[in-house]
Each structure stands twice: as C-alpha cells, then as structure tokens.
Structure 1
Amino acid sequence: MDDTGAEGGSLTGGVARVFAVIRALGAVQAEGGRVTELARAVGLTQATTHRQLAQLVAEGLVEQDERSKRYRLSLDFFALAAQAGNPGDLRTLARPALLRLCGSLGDTIFLLARSGFDAVCLDRAEGPFPIRSFTGDVGGRIALGVGQGALAILAFLPEAEREEVIRFNLARVREYGVYDEVYLRTEIERVRALGYAGRNTGLLEGMAGVAVPVLDREGRAVAALSVGTLSDRLNAERLPTVVALLQREAQALSPRLNPFDATLRRPAQSLASVPAGGLVRDAAPR
C-alpha cells in the first residue's frame, strides 16, 4: 500500500488507512502491536502508522501500554462495536419466537442459555397444559446434559468444551439414576446426528420434550429452544413438525445474536427484571 501524499490524500484513502490499522490491531489484540510491526502489516510508513495510531488513541479507540509501548484496541472500541451490533439481548430477541411457537404448537416453550456447566431458563411462554420441567420457572437451572434443552446445548459445544463439561457434570448427571457416561455420550452423538434432542427419558413421568440448539456465528451452542408437553402430544407423527418449527426459529435467531451480549456470557444478568419470587430451582423441564 502506497501512503505517498497521505496528508493530502482523499477521505476514502484516509478511512481505508484507519481501518487497515484497526484490522492489524485486531489480529494482535492479545499481545498488542508495535508501530514497526503494524506499519509492516498494513504497508504504511512508520510515521503514517504512528500518526494513525495517535489519532485513534486521542479518540479513545486504541490504548498504548506504557511499559511495552504496544498498542491494543481499547475497551471503548469494543463497547462501540457492541452498540453497533444488535441492541437486543438474547431474551428480548427470542421473545417473539417463543410466542409464535407457543401459539402454533399450543405447548409450553422454553428459552435456555448456557451458564458455565449449567443451563438456565431465561424465558418461557406458557401453553394450556400443566407440565413439569427440570428447570422449573424462569431462573431455574439444570446441569448441562440433563433434559432436552440442556442436552442440545451440550451436544453442540466445541469438542474441548464439551469434554470439560462432561468430566465436570458426570457425577451430577448420575444422581438422576438413569445416566452413566456411556449413555450420555451415546445421547450426545445421537443429538448431533439428528440436530435435535427429543428422546423421552422417563425422568418426568407423563412429560416429553424436544429441543434444538441456538448457535452463534462460530457454530457454538449458546442457547436452546425447547418444547415441554404431555407425552401423548409428542408422538412420532407430530415430532417432525415440532422439530421443523423449532429449527426454523433457532436458525432465524442465530444470525441476529449480538456477540457482545452479556447474556451470552452471564445469563443471570437478563433475569434482573424478574421478581425474586418468580425464580424457582427445585421444580423439575427441558
């Protein structure tokens, strides 16, 4: 890239240089970058690169470590990126989908999100049939791997994360009396092959459910949409229709996720507006 005449260059050229420097910083965000390294990466002189960096520092989008003299993108930069993304959090984005699914299927719909080694119920749309669930009401949590929603999330985590969760949760899963490691791993492979979790384990008598993962832009499961209903309402004939509706909503939701949404890292934050009395952990669904 030729930066000759940079001072009098066009606005387009100036903007292009700024974004070239920003992209170069993004590539070395962990360790930071020196002026010489960044200049080499973007094809500008050191003087021009330094000038661009100084302007970005003045705007608060870049910071320089006083000791190492390396530059990094600042927290303000990422805050700005978050504002530019979808402003809605996961719960807000998913609410219309829950209402559509509840209206179409006539069953209770759950939104679960990963929280460490657990799945947390962020929201639910209540159907007409009385049901029980593993997570209970909004705010309830269950170990990843127990119940359809938590199993759908676990199955579609990256392999290394999935293995870590299995090792940590295996003892917790065994407490239900029907799960061992072989069974859990078999179920995970089955869910990955089918694209949904829908086997009735019998843990909740008379209850059945099916869930699909909600994937982020990297293909990692961050949440699940789940149906909780009576066993006789989720027969072999109806199951494909339920799965198709869930998958359609999940696939529409995935590209709208804001990667900076705090809910995806700390699901409990989205429950701040829920009355404390509405948080239930000892009920038994999806």
Structure 2
Amino acid sequence: MHLPRSPGAPAAGSRPSGTADEPAGNPGTGMLERAFAILRVLAGEQQHGVRVTHLAKMVGLTQGTVHRILQSLVVEGMVEQDEHSKLYRLSVDFFALAAQAGNPGSMRTLCRPALLRLCASLGETIFLLVKSGFDAVCLDLCEGPFPIRSFTGDIGGRVALGIGQGSLAILAFLPEAEREEIIRFNVPRIRGFGVLDEVYLRTEITRVRELGYASRSNGVSDGMAGVAVPIFDRTGCAVGALSVGTLESRLGDDRLPMIVELLRRQADAIGPRTNPFDAALRRPLRGLAGTRNQAIS
C-alpha cells in the first residue's frame, strides 16, 4: 500500500536539494561552481598532480561527483590524467587557452621596440636572450654600427647558461635549486672556453647578484665586451635578459653606468608586461633532465 505524497515532498529514492553535491538553485550553475572549485585545486597542485580521493576531500564533494566532473574536463581537454600514476593535472590546452586571454604579444614582439630604442640611443648591438633548458637562446637582436662577435651568433643561436653576459644575467637570478642543477650540468661544457671553471662561474654569479647586472670582458673573446641586465616577470622570476655587445674600448668606466641605467629602464618596463604563458619563457625544472641527452650546439 502506497501512502500519498504530500505536495513538495521528494519522490522516493530522490536526493533532496541543497546538499553539498547537489546545491539548490540552477543545476547548471551548481555544476559550474563545482568544476571551477576542482580547477582551482588542480592549479594549486599542478607540480605533483592530485588523486580523486584527495581532490574530493579538498572540494567537499563525493568521489563519484568529482570523477564525473574530471572526466568531462578531460573530454574538453582542460584536464589530463597520467596513465601510470593516475594523478590529475591541468592540461597544456588549459594553459594555451589562458595564454590566448593573456598578453597576446610574444616576448619578441613585446621587446622589439625596446631593442630599437636602445640600439638608436647607444649605437650598439642589442640582444634579447631567454632561457631554454640549460642554454640561453638569442630571441632577437638589433645590430649596431660596430662589427662584433657574440657567443650566440644570429637570432636562434644558443650558448650554455653562464657563457656571455646575457646568459650569466639570467643564470644568476634563477631560483637556487634550478641554478644549482644548471651549474652542475654546464660546468663540463663551459670548460671548453678555456678560462672558465666552476669557481670562476660561481664567483661571477655572486658578483652579478650583488651588482644586479653582468658586465665587461670575460677574457674569452678578445676585444669584445658587453653588459646585460635580467628581465624579471611580475612574480620576480628572471625570464630573459637585455644585453649590449660592443668593443671593449667602448665600455669604459665612464660609460658603463649610463648603459646599465638605460638597459634597466627598458627591462623594468618589459617585465610586468611579459606573458606568463609564453612558450619562450617557461621551461620547468623537471623538464631539464629531458635535455641532457640532446645534442648541444
């Protein structure tokens, strides 16, 4: 015998509204809120990834609900699951989408006006370098009237971090753990330049950190000299360097402070405008090991 259901009472077997998993109101809004809660937790755990059980506890939902939402996000390409560890992370597509909404200009486009201004005002060759694994890569340059020899050569050329003022300015201001791994890996590579060894490199790094810039001749390229300042993004991370390459005779003590000041002004203006998702700027520490087996030019 079935008793009649009073008006407004839930049907047998149905879930009451207003629970943690099924909030009252528009169901679509509730689903959206839960999805964003999950995305926020994943963003905070991006380095290691998260299991469904841990994620469910952090957002206050059942494992079944979290799993269903995660699968929807995987289908949309916003979340990925490691097939071995079963941990969930935000996907590359998620960051690509964020990049489209961020600063649309690439690092090279952003810095090009600064290179032109510096080249015109100083009459020197100006380089833009960014970090790539254990190397610094020349992303752009603006040639001055004096013929010079640079370690990276033309645009796209690379050199081990620690060789040349631009790469040294980047290396000196990287996070300590990342800097130490690069030093250990690069010391055997820089020994091919003759005067450089680990003691020399560490001494130069300390000097650059104290001064805030890398300068002068390092004795590797006769007659050539340079000065470079790091470019810091809005979080204070060194993501690149502006560098002047010139003749040693043109970088005396009387001219050096002026050049450093001009470089710093441009670097300070560029830093807060850098796109944090620009592929040219982000090389995670855990990704460095993958470059160990690559041939380095």
- TM-score scaled by length of structure 2: 0.75
Letter in 2 for 1:158: P
> Once the two structures are superposed, what CA deviation does each residue of 1:232-282 show, in whole Å capped at 9, x if it has no partner?
32222221221122122222222222233222358xxxxxxxxxxxxxx8x
The question of whether the paired residues in 1 share the 8 Å contact of 2:138 and 2:154 is answered with yes
CA, structure 1 residues 22+230, in 2 after alignment: closer, same or farther (shift >3 Å)?
Answer: same
Give the match's secondary structure for 1:219. coil
Deviation at 1:196, TM superposition (A): 0.3
The question of whether the paired residues in 2 share the 8 Å contact of 1:6 and 1:48 is answered with no
The question of whether the paired residues in 2 share the 8 Å contact of 1:82 and 1:260 is answered with yes
Give the match's secondary structure for 1:96. helix
| Aligned counterpart in structure 1 of residue 221 of structure 2, from 204, 209, 217 | 204
Deviation at 1:213, TM superposition (A): 1.4
Q: Is 1:251 aligned to 2:268, yes or no?
A: yes
5+ unaligned residues in a row in structure 1: which ranges? 267-280, 282-286
Give the match's secondary structure for 1:8. coil
Provide the rounded CA distance (Å) in 1 between the counterparts of 2:100 and 2:220: 43
The count of residues paired between Structure 1 and Structure 2 equals 266
The question of whether the paired residues in 2 share the 8 Å contact of 1:212 and 1:225 is answered with yes
Show the counterpart of 1:103.
120
Q: Is 1:192 aligned to 2:170, yes or no?
A: no
Deviation at 1:139, TM superposition (A): 2.4
5+ unaligned residues in a row in structure 2: which ranges? 1-17, 284-296
Provide the rounded CA distance (Å) in 1 between the counterparts of 2:167 and 2:84: 45
| Aligned counterpart in structure 1 of residue 50 of structure 2, from 32, 45, 52 | 32
Q: Is 1:261 aligned to 2:278, yes or no?
A: yes
Q: Is 1:23 aligned to 2:62, yes or no?
A: no
Show the counterpart of 2:178.
161
Show the counterpart of 1:137.
154
Show the counterpart of 2:99.
82
Deviation at 1:109, TM superposition (A): 0.2
Identity percentage over the alignment? 67
Deviation at 1:204, TM superposition (A): 2.7
Asked which structure has the greater RCO (Cα within 8 Å, sep 6+), the reply is: 1
Q: Is 1:231 aligned to 2:248, yes or no?
A: yes
CA, structure 1 residues 49+211, in 2 after alignment: closer, same or farther (shift >3 Å)?
Answer: same
The question of whether the paired residues in 2 share the 8 Å contact of 1:214 and 1:251 is answered with yes
The question of whether the paired residues in 2 share the 8 Å contact of 1:33 and 1:72 is answered with no
Show the counterpart of 2:287.
none
Q: Is 1:125 aligned to 2:125, yes or no?
A: no
CA, structure 1 residues 12+163, in 2 after alignment: closer, same or farther (shift >3 Å)?
Answer: same
Give the match's secondary structure for 2:281. helix
Deviation at 1:3, TM superposition (A): 4.7
Letter in 1 for 2:160: A
Provide the rounded CA distance (Å) in 1 between the counterparts of 2:191 and 2:212: 24
Compute the RMSD of aligned alpha carbons.
3.2
Show the counterpart of 2:132.
115
CA, structure 1 residues 5+145, in 2 after alignment: closer, same or farther (shift >3 Å)?
Answer: closer
